[in-house]
Every structure is written in C-alpha cells, then in structure tokens.
Chains A and B, each alone.
Chain A
C-alpha cells in the first residue's frame, strides 16, 4: 500500500471566518451573557482552527491513512495481544440508548446496561477463578494500582503496618515497580534463572515480615510458563504475603488455566488485550480487577450488585473498607460493553479456543523462525502465546540490531514486534501473533524476516537505514527532546 506523502497540521488550513456552521447552535443575543461578570470573561475566542467540514473530514481521513492498524497490518507486538477487534462489539456498544445514558441517570432506567456489566463481572470471575470482580479501573496500570492498593489495605486492616515491600521479578513490565511506588511501597527485585523461571532460592531469601506481596505475570514476560508457580505461591503465602497476577498474558491461558487456581489473590485483566476492546492509538483500556475471598471487602467502587432480579450500583456504603473510588463515574462503560459482547460471541468453547490457538500460532511461528536460522531466547521451552527471538548474534557479527530489523519490517508491511523488552534479553524481539491470524500471514512474516536477514548479510545499509517506504524516515529523538516543539505555532511573517 502507498502512503500519502505528508499532511499539513490542521491549523495550516485555517481561514478566518470559515467553519462547519451546520454543526453550530444558533447565536444567542448578547443580553443572554450579560450576567457573566466581565472580569471572568475571556477577552477573545480561543484560537482553534477555522475550517469547513469537508476540509476537516479530508484532513483527519488522510491522517488515518498514515497509520498501521490491526485492520490493515499484522501486528505481532508481544505482550499487547493485537487480535482482531470485532466490528460487532463496536456497533452494539454504540447503540443510541447506551450512548445517551448519563452516568447518574436512575438505575430504574439502566437495567439493560447494568445487566450487561453484571454478567461481565460474573463471566470474568468464572474464567479467572476469582470470587469478586470490579470493572472501574480505566486501564491495565490503573488495575495494577487497585490491586496493590488492595494488598496494602488488607495488611493494614489486619494491623500489620510493616508489610510495605513488593517483590517483582527482574523481567517485569515497567508499570509493576512504578505501581508499587505509587502505593507507597518499596520494590525488591528477584532474579529469574536461565530457563526463565523465578529463582526460588532467591525468592525464599527475599520474603519476610516486610513482604506485602509479589507481582507476577504467568506466562511470564519471557513468554514461558512459570512452571513452579505453586511453589512460588507457597513461599509467598507462608511468609504472609499475597500474590498479584498481572493479566497482560492472560490470552495464553484463557480457557485453559485460571489464575485463581494457581494461587493468586488478586489479578488485573487488560480488557483491551485479552478481550479485544480497541487499542485506539493508545487507549481507552479497561483494567478490571478480580480478587479472592480475602480481598473482597477492599474492591474499588462502584461495582454492580444484584438483588432478586434488579441490578444496582454498590458504593462506599456497601463496601466500607473499599480502597475507594478510582473514577469520576463507573469506569470505561463503553469499553466494558465491548468486552461483554466479545465474551458472548466467544462463549464457553470460544474462550478455550483462544488460549489454544494463540499458543498454536506462537509455537508454529517460533519453530518456523528457528528453522529459518533465528535464535530463540528459550529454545528448549514451549512458547506460550508469545516468545522471544534474540538478535544479539546479528548485532555482534553484522552490526545490525533488533531496532534495525523492526524498522525494516515496516517496509515489508508488518508492524514490528515489541523490541527491547524484556530488558533481560539483549537485542530481543518479543513476538505475539494472537489466535486471529492465519497460517499464510505467519508464513509471510517468516519470509520477510528471512529476507531481512539476507539483506543484513549482504547489504546491511539497507536495513540499518530503514524504513524507506514509510511517510517518514527515522526520526531524531534527541532533537525532539532537546528542542521541544510540543504545540503548533504560526510561522511569523518575514
């Protein structure tokens, strides 16, 4: 596909007096504003762009054409679960009655949407093996915050103020330590062993009366299942700590294993990953949290309760020990509806197939890439729904890095996998195909990677200066940070 060459900033289309006037209400007489104190009035209207409707539509449509997206490209971003976002989820979440309802409208006129949210809570409990679910955290990191805050609240409620340490494996996602700090905790890292499992001996040495809990992903960020998870759970529980599950990799085990059965006390789910709500160029997500019995009293409010056949919001009055309110209203309801629709489309068997086919696709892609000569970080292990390929050999022998491969893949029409995460593996690509990709797409990706490897050997400059066919070449990040240009300013006349 070809890209439009470049598109001016919308302000450059602006022309005084122009506007999409069909969209505006009628003007009010001056007298209507007479009661607003002069001292509080704006002196001149805000300097927003003045463009006609077609100009605006063309501009933003052209901008959209500068993007890669799941609808247009394979997007094997490890840890992001870029699966197809079903159009039905969007269409039915945007039914006019759902869109028009005010968050504080009477519950009597919201039993339909409340029913969807309640059933979503119940389905998420079932598929994760937890006892309670709250839907209000608005992103994965927000859900993490809720989870760690609940752990702290639990210990405090027991009178144990000393437990302020959160253990994190060294391969953890950056939000984990950041979240721990936001909750007033101290972070202690434990190493993983050469096979990718948490080092049990190091863990046993790290736990104690100061341990609030451990934050884990399973499968881990290394793309492999934490085989001794039951032992890890025992060590932490015996030391008096709780287990937090980062649900980023839930897609690998959906329908096959439940975090609650592995011993986790609290989990967050990324509905925008596993449950296919849209990534939207950076959001909105939804970070629903699930808890075992111990943490039920601490769930963030509001959540949906059912009394007989009626649904209602449960608030601070119903959960006096709640960690509180995390959202002005009840979270990203529109996103939650999309997740609900997706789960109804999947059904019981569909959940299981997600885990199975995500794992099948990942293992197939791993084997094909290894056969093509690429080095897996953990070649002896099964891939979960994702796996790591390391390009440290190419970096050392050919001076071509993971970054270079990622940029050259764009020219081949593939979004790059996740690069340089986890930090533990040098020059790594974390690759997650998801279950919605066909075999042909995976084969085409392998072919592209092989082609880039050949280029790296024969014509490395082509790779290290990639991409060549995108709307822009590589961008000067240093200049962007040193010479901050964060808002548009008109060019002064000469």
Chain B
C-alpha cells in the first residue's frame, strides 16, 4: 500500500533520530482544526491484482470500434519498438533535464527530435514540444505578436477552416492578453479559404495569418498565394500542419516566396496512440531570427570542459524559472515521453516509411469516399483535392446514423452539425493506412443498409 518500504523498527529508529514520539508529532505545527477528520469518500485500497481486474473489465466494456474518425487525431500503425523503448524506466521516470550531465540521453533525444521536426517542416529551429497542437497554435499567435515589431494591432486572421477546438483554445488562452481574432469565411463549394476574400483586409494593420494545411475538412489550401498576400500586408504567417502529410506536401518553410514564419501542429500521428485524446504533443518550429520569442524548452549542443560534445538546455533566460513575470510563457513542461515516442517512430519510419504512410492514407480515403458516395443519399460536400479526410453531405441527420453505426461496431466519423450547421447534415470521415478494403466495404455495406432502413421508416 502506497509503496512505502518502512518497517516498524525503521519508524522507531527514525523517530528517535528526530526526537519525536510519533509521526503525528511531526504535524504539530499544523493547527488541529485543519486536520482531516475522515476521507470517507475515498474507497478502500485495492491490491494490484484487484486493480488489474477492475481496469480490464472497464476496458473490455468499452471495446474497440472500427475507427473512421480523424478531426485532429489520427490512427496510424505504431511499431512495437516505439513504446517498448519509450516506457523504459530511464526515459519514463527521468526528470526534466536540468542537471545536464545526468540527462544526456533525454537531451540528445530532444536535439534529434528538434532536428527531425525542422527537416519535416522546412523551418530552421524547433523547440522540445508543447502540450498539444491547439495550445501550440495559441502560443504561436502570442509569439507572432511579440515577433512582429511593425504591427501594433495584435490582430490575427483565422480561417474558419481551422479546427474548431483550436480556435476555442486560442481564444481561451489569449483573450486576457488583448489579442483579437478575426474569422475568415470559407468557400462553400471548395471548402477552402478564397484568397480573394482577404481583399477587405488590404492595407490594415495585421499581425499574423493562420493557415491550416490540410484544413479541418481535409481540403488543401492555396498556401503560396495566402502566404505571399500576408507578407505583402506585413503580417507573419503561422502554419498549422499535419506531420504525416508533410511527407508528401510542400513544407511551410517553402510556402510562398519567403516561407511561413512559425509552423506548429499536432504531433500525435507520429507514434502516439489515440488514447481518448491525450497525452499528445504539439510541435513548434520557426525561423532562426525568431528563436528568442519562441516559448518552451530548447536543447543546444555544446562542449564540456574537456572539449567533449554534449547537450544542454539553452536560451533558458526566456523561461519562467528565470524571467518570471516577463517570461515568454508560463510553460514549464514539454511532452517528453510523447516526443520520445515520435523521435523513435520517425527513425523507424524514415522518409520512405512516412511517405508510404501518407500515400496509403490518402489512397484509402479516396477509396472510402468513392465507396460511401455510391450509397444513395451520400455525396461529397466539396470539390477539389484533400489529404486524408473529407466531408460527406447526407440527406438525413447524421447523429442517429452514427449511433446506429456504433451499435454495429463502427465509429463512422464526426458529425459536423455542432460546428458547421450551415453545411446541413455533414460527416467528416477519415481512413488511414490502417484500413483495408474489407474495412471500407464493411462500412459501405452497413451504411447502405442503415440508410435504406431509415428511408423506409
């Protein structure tokens, strides 16, 4: 119980050394009226066997649905080696690498992670990760305000095709710091931002433009035109990108003439399981000139006193434990374990494996759309290329269909009614390399049966 090793004789000897009669004496500075009377609301302890059984029963009761949901969290194959190594005690139970000499494993791993993320995004520097893609996007907005000296306005243009939860997190995180977000509408035929719709902002003081690629609908934005327009207005460009897609798509560092200024995103697709939403990790990369405005931990390579190469946390003067009230952020963590998993994943996948994963996910989603749009009452909502998810328009409400699909063991996608009611009944679906032709056919057949039954009713 509580993993406490002390025997009675240990306790007696220790109390004698302290000069106290009992453990209770050690709490004598605490006013007695503050002591807990009872913790009746906490159940009795379970031993490990009982806890194991409890958790296994609960997991079994949840079961596993055949998953066709994307919407910011993507199911990909994770090699067994990734978590076998990540859960080694030396990584799992290590602390933040403040004592560099005792943490070279973690520090070198972060350096390798930073190196891989800059290559993936085409940017110049990366930090050691942030909580998730949504908070990384919010931090990018704050960073753009600090970095864009020419702009006084703290105004950020945000496409309505940016993940709805990311927009809400950005508002919740930044509204006490005076940022203003303006939403850009999307074209109802294309499901993307029309560069022409930006015209009304021309000549105004804009701090940054956020561009998500692929966007929340899975569609591909015209990133070059958008980037050049933003730069011509004196605004910085914040790219919010999917890391798997970057194996096939032009990286933010190469968008437009100058490239994006900050590139962030959700790193979960890189070796991190879906796990009901977390823990995930956000990545943040930028141009070298903005490195001092970037929040979060950064690892640098240096030499020790004997001239040997080693790794250490650097640029810490920006961080909370030194700058306190003037810190770039209050962030005190990086998602260490997840970043570790991602680094191992990227090493096992390499350029070929990641490219094949991206290509297979794109291909399976095309097949999924082709199959599902053969079902009467289902059509694609938008024209144009997408990466690995797409919106389907249905001729009847989505929610009851999703319930029925779940009862048949299928998680059919995300109902967009709460987020984009103007689309009418709409379903966001995704298929990755994990889906086979048989999986897709099972979905198609089940949906066809359910919709026929609904139509007859």
Q: Do chains A and B touch in the complex (CB under 8 A)?
A: yes
- Is B348 touching A360 in the complex (CB atoms < 8 A)? no
Known: A23-B77, A41-B250, A182-B330. A324 touches B347 (CB 8 A): no
Q: Kindly state the separation between the CA atoms of A279 and B335 in the bound complex, as whole angstroms.
A: 9
Q: Kindly state the separation between the CA atoms of A325 and B303 in the bound complex, as whole angstroms.
A: 43
Q: Kindly state the separation between the CA atoms of A324 and B40 in the bound complex, as whole angstroms.
A: 32
Q: Please tell me which one of the listed residues A61, A111, A363, A485 contacts residue B62 in the complex, with CB atoms under 8 A apart.
A: A111
Q: Which residues of B sit under 8 angstroms from A325, Cβ to Cβ?
A: 134, 165, 168-169, 172
Task: Choose, from B111-119, B150-158, B373-381, the stretch at the interface.
Answer: B111-119
Does A9 interact with chain B (Cβ within 8 Å)? yes
Does A174 interact with chain B (Cβ within 8 Å)? yes
Q: Which residues of A sit under 8 angstroms from B135, Cβ to Cβ?
A: 138, 142, 326-328
Does A293 interact with chain B (Cβ within 8 Å)? no
A323 to chain B, nearest CB (A): 6
Q: Which residues of B sit under 8 angstroms from A101, Cβ to Cβ?
A: 62, 64-65, 274-276
Q: Please tell me which one of the listed residues A47, A343, A381, A438 contacts residue B42 in the complex, with CB atoms under 8 A apart.
A: A343
Output the nearest chain A residue to B93 by Cβ-Cβ distance.
A70
Q: Which residues of A sit under 8 angstroms from B2, Cβ to Cβ?
A: 345-346, 350-351, 353-354, 357, 435-436
Output the nearest chain A residue to B55 by Cβ-Cβ distance.
A92
Q: Please tell me which one of the listed residues B5, B96, B173, B223 contacts residue A436 in the complex, with CB atoms under 8 A apart.
A: B5
Convert A37-60 into 0s and 1s, putting 1 for each residue whose CB lies closer than 8 angstroms to a CB of B.
101111101111111010011011
Does B338 interact with chain A (Cβ within 8 Å)? yes
Q: Kindly state the separation between the CA atoms of A84 and B359 in the bound complex, as whole angstroms.
A: 43
Does B126 interact with chain A (Cβ within 8 Å)? yes
Q: Kindly state the separation between the CA atoms of A320 and B303 in the bound complex, as whole angstroms.
A: 54
Q: Kindly state the separation between the CA atoms of A351 and B36 in the bound complex, as whole angstroms.
A: 11
Q: Kindly state the separation between the CA atoms of A51 and B1 in the bound complex, as whole angstroms.
A: 44
- Is A6 touching B81 in the complex (CB atoms < 8 A)? no
B94 to chain A, nearest CB (A): 4
- Is A472 touching B308 in the complex (CB atoms < 8 A)? yes
Does A374 interact with chain B (Cβ within 8 Å)? no
Query: Could you tell me how many residues of chain A have their Cβ less than 8 Å away from some Cβ of chain B?
Result: 200
Output the nearest chain B residue to A80 by Cβ-Cβ distance.
B95
- Is A261 touching B247 in the complex (CB atoms < 8 A)? no
Q: Please tell me which one of the listed residues A100, A324, A364, A472 contacts residue B273 in the complex, with CB atoms under 8 A apart.
A: A100
Output the nearest chain B residue to A113 by Cβ-Cβ distance.
B276
- Is A472 touching B100 in the complex (CB atoms < 8 A)? yes
Known: A36-B220, A436-B3. A281 touches B94 (CB 8 A): yes
Q: Kindly state the separation between the CA atoms of A50 and B348 in the bound complex, as whole angstroms.
A: 8
Q: Which residues of A sit under 8 angstroms from B88, Cβ to Cβ?
A: 61, 64
- Is B385 touching A480 in the complex (CB atoms < 8 A)? no
Task: Choose, from A236-244, A393-401, A454-462, A463-471, the stretch at the interface.
Answer: A463-471
Output the nearest chain B residue to A350 by Cβ-Cβ distance.
B2
Q: Which residues of A sit under 8 angstroms from B437, Cβ to Cβ?
A: none
Known: A112-B58, A324-B169, A410-B102. A84 touches B3 (CB 8 A): yes
Does A83 interact with chain B (Cβ within 8 Å)? yes
Q: Kindly state the separation between the CA atoms of A486 and B116 in the bound complex, as whole angstroms.
A: 11
- Is A69 touching B359 in the complex (CB atoms < 8 A)? no
Does A314 interact with chain B (Cβ within 8 Å)? no
Q: Which residues of A sit under 8 angstroms from B261, Cβ to Cβ?
A: none
- Is A360 touching B23 in the complex (CB atoms < 8 A)? yes
Known: A110-B62, A127-B42, A225-B29. A33 touches B168 (CB 8 A): no
- Is A475 touching B350 in the complex (CB atoms < 8 A)? no
- Is B42 touching A347 in the complex (CB atoms < 8 A)? yes
- Is A332 touching B29 in the complex (CB atoms < 8 A)? no
Question: For window 390-408 of chain B, which residues contact chain A by CB distance below 8 Å?
Answer: 402-403, 406
B264 to chain A, nearest CB (A): 12
B260 to chain A, nearest CB (A): 14
The 10 closest A-B pairs by CB, nearest first: A347-B45, A71-B89, A329-B277, A324-B172, A103-B277, A112-B58, A280-B337, A282-B336, A184-B176, A126-B41
Q: Apart from A334-B273, A363-B26, A381-B29, what are 19 other A-B pairs with CB-CB below 8 Å?
A: A21-B353, A24-B356, A25-B77, A25-B357, A25-B433, A41-B248, A48-B349, A53-B81, A68-B99, A77-B95, A141-B331, A142-B331, A144-B330, A184-B178, A323-B172, A328-B165, A334-B279, A486-B298, A487-B119
